[in-house]
């Protein structure tokens, strides 16, 4: 069950902690993956690692999601290199934290542009080839704070909440064509950012989680792989929360 053999996937932010875990999970289930990110050198090294450890003819496509022209070219580049697109994972995101009264306009615009607008453009670009194939899986990586809010992250929370609403609208538009659109909302996941926290900070976070620990990238990869599968074809417009019980939405 849940095999992805013969499917082509595009993952944005693929060289990051959660993004690489998603790409590995899809590759292990048989998908061919286009790895996208802004750092070509990191992407190339990760692609070579992915091929060596899990096989498959994967590709890397450098794209700066803050550049509208590059975003618009990403789906056509994926179609050219893979020959099709069955799975789109909008994972890339940035933070520019700050209290609302001190938040600069640029910090707002950058976060919304990359976390929300770029995802919209990629969803729109993938719609036509997926509709033609009468099959597609859109999976958007949101966040628990898009549902709960978080002080100092008004821009990030707004973008992630917007991504959830956008996913529901898209899901209704394309459901009759065999395309699903869902979200995966991670809680606290162990990444390079969280490993930099000191012991007291880690204990404070873990105390908020009923399972008493942060999740792993593999937990998000497994959720994405399931939603990308043919077996998940009757699930659309939903958000799968992966947060250890921190927020039971």
The residues that are catalytic are: 156
Residue with tokens 């002080």: 151
Whether 224 contacts 11, CB under 8 Å: no
Cα(13)–Cα(3) distance, rounded to whole angstroms? 23
Tokens of 19: 């993004």
| Nearest residue to 42 (alpha-carbon basis) of 26, 28, 29, 23 | 23
């Amino acid at each position: 069950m849940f095999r992805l053999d013969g499917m082509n996937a595009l993952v944005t932010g693929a060289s990051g902690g959660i993004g690489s875990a998603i790409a590995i999970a899809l590759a292990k289930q048989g998908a061919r993956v286009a790895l996208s990110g802004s750092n070509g050198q990191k992407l190339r090294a990760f692609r070579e690692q992915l091929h060596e450890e899990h096989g498959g003819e994967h590709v890397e496509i450098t794209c700066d999601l803050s550049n509208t022209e590059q975003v618009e070219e990403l789906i056509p580049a994926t179609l050219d290199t893979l020959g099709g697109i069955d799975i789109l994972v909008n994972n890339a995101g940035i933070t520019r934290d700050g209290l609302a009264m001190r938040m600069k306009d640029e910090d707002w615009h950058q976060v919304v542009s990359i976390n929300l607008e770029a995802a919209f453009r990629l969803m729109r670009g993938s719609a036509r080839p997926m509709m033609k194939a009468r099959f597609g899986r859109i999976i958007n990586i949101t966040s628990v704070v898009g549902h709960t809010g978080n002080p100092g992250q008004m821009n990030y929370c707004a973008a992630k909440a917007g991504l959830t609403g956008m996913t529901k609208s898209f899901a209704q538009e394309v459901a009759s064509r065999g395309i699903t659109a869902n979200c995966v909302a991670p809680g606290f996941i162990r990444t390079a950012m969280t490993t930099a926290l000191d012991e007291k900070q880690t204990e404070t976070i873990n105390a908020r989680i009923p399972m008493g620990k942060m999740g792993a990238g593999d937990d998000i990869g497994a959720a994405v792989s399931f939603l990308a599968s043919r077996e998940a074809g009757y699930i659309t417009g939903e958000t799968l929360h992966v947060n250890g019980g921190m927020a039971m939405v």
